Amino acid sequence: MTDTLVSFDDVLTSYDPALGLEVHVELNTNTKMFCGCPAVFGGEPNTQVCPTCLGLPGAMPVVNGKAIESAIRIGLALNCEIAEWCRFARKNYFYPDMPKNFQTSQYDEPICFEGFLDVDVDGEVFRVEIERAHMEEDTGKSLHVGGATGRIHGADYSLVDYNRAGIPLIEIVTKPILGAGAKAPAVARAYVSQLRDLIVALGVSEARMDQGNLRADVNLSLAPKGSGKLGTRTETKNVNSFRSVERAVRYEMQRQAAILDAGGSILQETRHWHEDTGVTTSGREKSDADDYRYFPEPDLVPVAPSREWVDELRGTLPENPLLKRARLQADWGYTDLEMRDVVASGVVGLIEETVAAGASPQSARKWWLSELGRRANDAGVDITDLQVTPVEVATVQALVDDGSLNDKLARQVFDGLLAGEGTPAEIVAARGLAIVSDEGALSAAVDAAIAANPDVADKIRDGKVAAAGALIGAVMKEMRGQADAGRVRELVLEKLTETR
Ligand SMILES: [Zn+2]
């Protein structure tokens, strides 16, 4: 079934979009939220479990202090109030990946509330207000075996891995984001991307979207233009890259507008995002929170962080991201336009690491923005998911700087890195990419080019130095691009101007 879509421009002539973003962040604590099981990614299924995270009768949970600390630091970085006293609550529902039949979460008493994050969207600051950031635990993972789609329908049987059950999560919920208009998709992307930067700077999570450490749900509704109302929203689940966040918002705007234009109404439901086809499809109908019959968790004591501790944690916060950006721009000597491109492409952190590994800011920008940015785009992946590290980029640039490679050969090293052929040095050796600096070999190649092109050589002898390009080209071709073009030029001129 294909949805009817309205063109993006037409959506905006009739409707105001309202966005909402819910981001789950998996914390990188050593142990789980309410037990001492290791909270590491991977591991043989069902080896990192105990009576508590398996929900066995009589098991008693204990709160992970480090997770509370991380929650408070995230809240402070998002300019939130920190609750003086709050509790956990049981969110009751049945699902096979949740052995207790309830999730321990927070309901009306979140640990962090009423904050904001200022995000940079194409050089303009847009304030996203945060409603709350609360603590909860992750569920296990179901694996549906057999069947074509990997979903439960059509599967022969299902397996459950509880290693992830009980890993600490922070869920960060925005207030409805209004007034973004045509920029709604870009605001959504910028928010998730800059929230990730902040989480990474805080050091509280690996925050890798491809591994599910950071998962975004996108709420979207449309209201008649200028009405000031909120329409019925849909919630698109687990959108797993910045690019997909932007695309999912755009798609839902176009899909919902078509339904409303035709006199229909939007069903309040969860939807699935399909990365391959770029569409959302219907999930389950969803009504509001009272379904879950929340009640305060009786087995856990309330959390009451002292004001002294909160102030102490405030002192551990990283630099404000927008101020940091201004500082980096000054340090790197980028123009406003260069900095905007770098920010829009989400490569600020990558450039920072590449510069820290020894590359110049301009070379780091060149590789990440033009070369690697283009390849990520061609492959349809986020640049942060490319199999090239900042240290490798700096290493390749160092080889260019010392004359071992030129830019053209460096691009072939990146081909090798993306193909998983090893380190830059191994790729240069295996592919035979190093520049020929042997004077004897260069001199012989220049002599051969002169002999093969006597007319051109005569022109140069007559003082037409511009003709040297043809000979340099011939030598470079002969040496498969692996010669220093500047040195070849010197040799050509030496040989032809000294024999006069
Ligand atoms: Zn456990």
- pTM of the entire structure? 0.75
Residue 87 Cα to ligand 1 middle (Å): 21
Within a domain: 35: yes
Residue 54 Cα to ligand 1 middle (Å): 7
Residue 203 Cα to ligand 1 middle (Å): 23
Are 91 and 72 contained in the same domain? yes
Residue 48 Cα to ligand 1 middle (Å): 7
For residue 500, what pLDDT is reported? 45
Q: What is the DSSP string of 20-84?
A: EEEEEEE---SB-SSSSSB--S--STT-S--TTTTT-TT------HHHHHHHHHHHHHTT-EE-S
Are 356 and 211 contained in the same domain? no
Residue 71 Cα to ligand 1 middle (Å): 20
Are 304 and 407 contained in the same domain? no
Are 77 and 175 contained in the same domain? yes
Are 101 and 203 contained in the same domain? yes
**Which tens digits make up the pLDDT trace of 217-269?**
999 999 999 999 999 999 999 898 999 999 999 999 999 999 999 999 999 99
Its domain, for residue 392, covers 319-431
Within a domain: 253: no
Residue 33 Cα to ligand 1 middle (Å): 9
Residue 425 Cα to ligand 1 middle (Å): 44
Q: What is the DSSP string of 211-233?
A: GTSEEEEEEEEEEETT-------
Residue 486 Cα to ligand 1 middle (Å): 65
- Looking at 313, 330, 353, the residue that finishes a domain is 313
CB 400 within 8 A of CB 359: no
CA–CA–CA angle 338, 344, 350 (5° rounding): 80
CB 407 within 8 A of CB 399: no
Residue 27 Cα to ligand 1 middle (Å): 16
Are 21 and 116 contained in the same domain? yes
For 279-308, b where at least 16 C-beta lie within 10 A, e where not — what string? bbeeeeeeeeeeebebeebeebeebebeee
Q: Beta-carbon neighbour count of residue 120 at 10 Å?
A: 18
Residue 95 Cα to ligand 1 middle (Å): 18
Within a domain: 3: no
Residue 79 Cα to ligand 1 middle (Å): 33
Within a domain: 278: no
Lateral strand order in the sheet of 102-105:
102-105, 89-92, 295-296
**Which tens digits make up the pLDDT trace of 469-481?**
888 888 888 887 7
Residue 290 Cα to ligand 1 middle (Å): 29
Residue 239 Cα to ligand 1 middle (Å): 28
Q: Helix or strand or coil: residue 117?
A: strand
Residue 369 Cα to ligand 1 middle (Å): 44
Residue 140 Cα to ligand 1 middle (Å): 12
Which CATH number does the domain housing residue 450 bear?
1.10.10
Residue 237 Cα to ligand 1 middle (Å): 27
Within a domain: 341: yes
How far is 497 from 293, CA to CA, in rounded Å? 91
Are 365 and 454 contained in the same domain? no
Residue 40 Cα to ligand 1 middle (Å): 12
Are 87 and 207 contained in the same domain? yes
Domains: count for the chain: 3
- Looking at 403, 431, 459, the residue that finishes a domain is 431
| Short-list 201, 48, 47, 46, CA closest to 117 | 201
Residue 84 Cα to ligand 1 middle (Å): 28
Are 215 and 81 contained in the same domain? yes
| Short-list 28, 42, 30, 272, CA closest to 170 | 28
CB 168 within 8 A of CB 33: yes
Are 77 and 61 contained in the same domain? yes
Residue 102 Cα to ligand 1 middle (Å): 15
Residue 59 Cα to ligand 1 middle (Å): 10
Residue 159 Cα to ligand 1 middle (Å): 19
- Which two three-digit tokens encode residue 209? 């979207």
Residue 24 Cα to ligand 1 middle (Å): 20
Residue 38 Cα to ligand 1 middle (Å): 8
How far is 49 from 40, CA to CA, in rounded Å? 12
What is the chain's alpha carbon radius of gyration, rounded to the nearest angstrom?
A: 29
Within a domain: 136: yes
Within a domain: 391: yes
Are 486 and 412 contained in the same domain? no
Are 424 and 446 contained in the same domain? no
Query: Which residues, other chains included, contact 226 with Cβ-Cβ below 8 Å and sequence gap of 6+?
Result: 16
Integer CA distances (angstroms), 461 to 21, 447, 448, 488, in order: 70, 14, 16, 16
Sequential pLDDT tens for the chain (500 residues) = 578 999 999 999 999 999 999 999 999 999 999 999 999 877 899 999 999 999 999 999 999 999 999 999 999 999 999 999 999 999 998 889 999 999 999 999 999 999 999 998 887 889 999 999 999 999 999 999 988 777 788 899 999 999 999 999 999 999 999 999 999 999 999 999 999 989 988 999 989 888 889 999 999 999 999 999 999 999 999 898 999 999 999 999 999 999 999 999 999 999 999 988 999 999 877 766 558 889 999 999 999 999 999 999 999 999 887 788 889 999 999 998 899 888 878 899 899 999 999 999 999 999 999 899 999 988 888 888 888 999 999 999 999 998 888 888 899 999 999 999 999 999 988 888 887 777 888 888 899 899 999 988 888 888 888 888 888 888 888 887 788 888 888 888 888 886 44
- Looking at 414, 431, 448, the residue that finishes a domain is 431
Integer CA distances (angstroms), 6 to 229, 234, 257, 396, in order: 21, 17, 6, 46
How far is 116 from 128, CA to CA, in rounded Å? 6
CB 113 within 8 A of CB 129: no
Within a domain: 138: yes
